[in-house]
Copies of this chain bind each other. A is one copy, B any other.
């Protein structure tokens, strides 16, 4: 592995000059440039970025924290982030935290130890107070996660309106007994539930607390949610699920109970995961503008790094209702 020294020696110039051609900076005569470049090519020289990064005290790396890379929801978001980062001469690192606070801390050390210039949280494990302390000291932005006390830029959709739209869709199809399988203590779910409530109210339908069941974002959450709902005396005819994966679990369990979707029960998902159009039946859902969310998040990150943004700041992007088989109209 040649160093810049060896290139300089072999080209008969100083290291400063080699550095200049490396960075296309300063003024270098065409002759010298060619000479240096040919030595670089000949030796197959690759600059050691550890040296550069130390000197510049920046790495042009952004860390993205995900709960789990397996969650296909984030794939397009990450693509949006990556493209935007590359356009700006940055690179993106992805790490899984499994929402494990210890693991999260390990990766946050990358930030504290100057290995990355900023962190995007697509998932948080730590508490709000701690988070705000971190966000005060370092460039940090939140993607698709939030609560009202967070002091950092946040990029998301308007989950309240999205919940309203999802529920309204079911109401328009004639459903009166509409349940929701959701999760607890997550800002976005809370907002979606508020939208659900407002839609029922606007349609003069009665709120029934038994129709709101708390599970988690998983396939199994959907199974358990349906079990719970269909033990009720008056089971719902439509279920709004907090994610497509939950919707899949719901459909699977309904099928097991001998009920047909959408004939007996309409199912609504959320996220427009890749599984939604593929499933049998395909799943009606709310699509989030995932690529744009990623893109915007990264743009905001650069603003934060430049210091143009210092306090909390929220960006809401547009969602979209996508109607598929799981809510095909039928009479009730």
Contact = CB atoms under 8 A, between A and B. Distances in A.
Given A49-B115, A51-B54, A114-B49, A94 B91 contact: no
A57 interface: yes
Nearest to A93: B93
A259 to B, nearest CB: 13
A37 interface: no
Contact of A106 (B48, B75, B91, B255): B91
Interface string A78-94: 11001000100001111
Interface in A66-114: 66, 68-70, 72, 74-76, 78-79, 82, 86, 91-96, 106-107, 109-110, 112-114
Nearest to A51: B54
Contacts of A184: none
A330 interface: no
Interface string A195-220: 00000000000000000000000010
Contact of A109 (B46, B50, B74, B92): B46
A313 interface: no
Nearest to A114: B48
A59 interface: yes
Contact of A96 (B50, B79, B107, B110): B79
A14 B61 CA distance: 32
A113 B278 CA distance: 42
Contact of A54 (B50, B93, B106, B112): B50
B78 A274 contact: no
A113 B49 contact: yes
A275 interface: yes
A47 interface: yes
A70 B59 contact: no
A160 B92 CA distance: 37
The CB with the most chain B CB atoms within 10 A, among A68, A115, A251, is that of A115
A93 B248 CA distance: 31
A118 to B, nearest CB: 15
Contacts of A275: 275
A100 to B, nearest CB: 11
B280 A255 contact: yes
Interface string A142-154: 0000000000000
A5 to B, nearest CB: 15
30 contacts: A46-B109, A46-B112, A46-B113, A47-B113, A48-B54, A48-B113, A49-B113, A49-B115, A50-B53, A50-B115, A66-B69, A69-B74, A69-B75, A70-B72, A70-B75, A70-B274, A82-B96, A91-B106, A91-B107, A91-B110, A92-B95, A93-B93, A94-B94, A94-B96, A219-B274, A249-B278, A252-B278, A255-B280, A279-B279, A279-B280
Given A54-B54, A68-B75, A86-B106, 16 more contacts: A49-B114, A50-B50, A50-B54, A50-B57, A51-B54, A69-B94, A70-B74, A70-B76, A82-B96, A92-B95, A94-B95, A248-B278, A249-B278, A251-B280, A252-B280, A280-B280
